[in-house]
Amino acid sequence: MRKFIIVLISCIAALNANDTINYYGDIVNIKLSKDSWNRIIFDAEVNAEPIYSKEKNLEVYKANNSVFVKFKPMVKVEVLDKQEQIMDIDYSQSKKSELFVSTTTGTYSFTIEPASVPAKTYIIQNVQNKNTNLLKFEMDSPRKVFKDLIKSVFINEQVDNYEKLKLASKEQILSNLIIKPKYIFRGKIYSAYLYDITALETVNINEKIFTSLDLRNKRAIAVKEDDRILETNQTTQLIIIVGN
């Protein structure tokens, strides 16, 4: 297993068509494609049939931890020579509606609005469920939190109860290293930034190189120990933990 070195900073001073929604318990308004199937993904299995207004011309199905939603169009048909021909499919009558979904870990309330957008996929993160475990984890000693957080990111690129968001910032060059932002893992007290780094020439990695990166309130910096020396075009990963 790879090892890593943590450098603590002494001074304490953060879709494509997939959208992530943090759910705090209030009704959430979401826009769905009015002429395609849409998907809403939850962090637990949907354990009951979703509740919605059937007179609003909706089709709603559940499967495992997902709910699929489609607005029904008005279809105009003409009969010629005893054969039906579809003359027009009209989605303009689709209306805003309510949708209630129950999962094994919570109940969710939505208003769904038809819109002229591509098929949508929403990922629902129940922040209420995560806050207790997240705060319990982050209230441990900072050194242990940083060590566990860095280990989870390096090994799995996942951290339990942390919100994972893709970073869109542009890459930059620092000390003959190309630094490309990848993800931020956002918690309540701390957040971790993950970068891919590539050497333009042989470089002896020193965490102090990265203290000049434009992040406020840096608390820890880590690079995989096996990658202390990078040859030309070799890559490794960098993590910077900040205080929120």
CA distances from 73 to 57, 61, 91, 116 (A): 8, 17, 5, 14
Give rounded-to-5 percent helix, strand, coil for the chain.
15, 50, 35
Count CB-CB contacts under 10 A for residue 14. 12
Closest to 193 (Cα-Cα) out of 134, 238, 160? 238
The per-residue pLDDT for 9 is 40
DSSP-H helix ranges across the chain: 127-138, 142-156
Count CB-CB contacts under 10 A for residue 20. 15
Q: What is the largest CA-CA distance in the chain?
A: 84
Per-residue confidence band for 79, with pLDDT thresholds at 50, 70 and 90? low
Q: Determine the average pLDDT of the residues in 4-20.
A: 46
Per-residue confidence band for 12, with pLDDT thresholds at 50, 70 and 90? very low
Contact assessment for residue 109 and residue 27, using Cβ atoms and an 8 Å cutoff: yes
The HSE-up count of residue 42 (CA atoms within 13 Å, CB side) is: 26
Count CB-CB contacts under 10 A for residue 2. 12
Per-residue confidence band for 94, with pLDDT thresholds at 50, 70 and 90? confident
Least confident of 72-86, 121-135, 218-232: 72-86
Q: Classify strands 121-126 and 18-23 as parallel, antiparallel or unpaired.
A: parallel
Domain boundary assignment for the chain: 4-14+128-243, 18-126
Give the sign of the dihedral formed by CA 158, CA 164, CA 169, CA 170: positive
The per-residue pLDDT for 77 is 56
Tell me how far apart the alpha carbons of residues 218 and 210 are, in angstroms, rounded to a whole number. Answer: 10
Least confident of 32-46, 72-86, 173-187, 217-231: 72-86
The per-residue pLDDT for 74 is 66
Contact assessment for residue 25 and residue 110, using Cβ atoms and an 8 Å cutoff: no
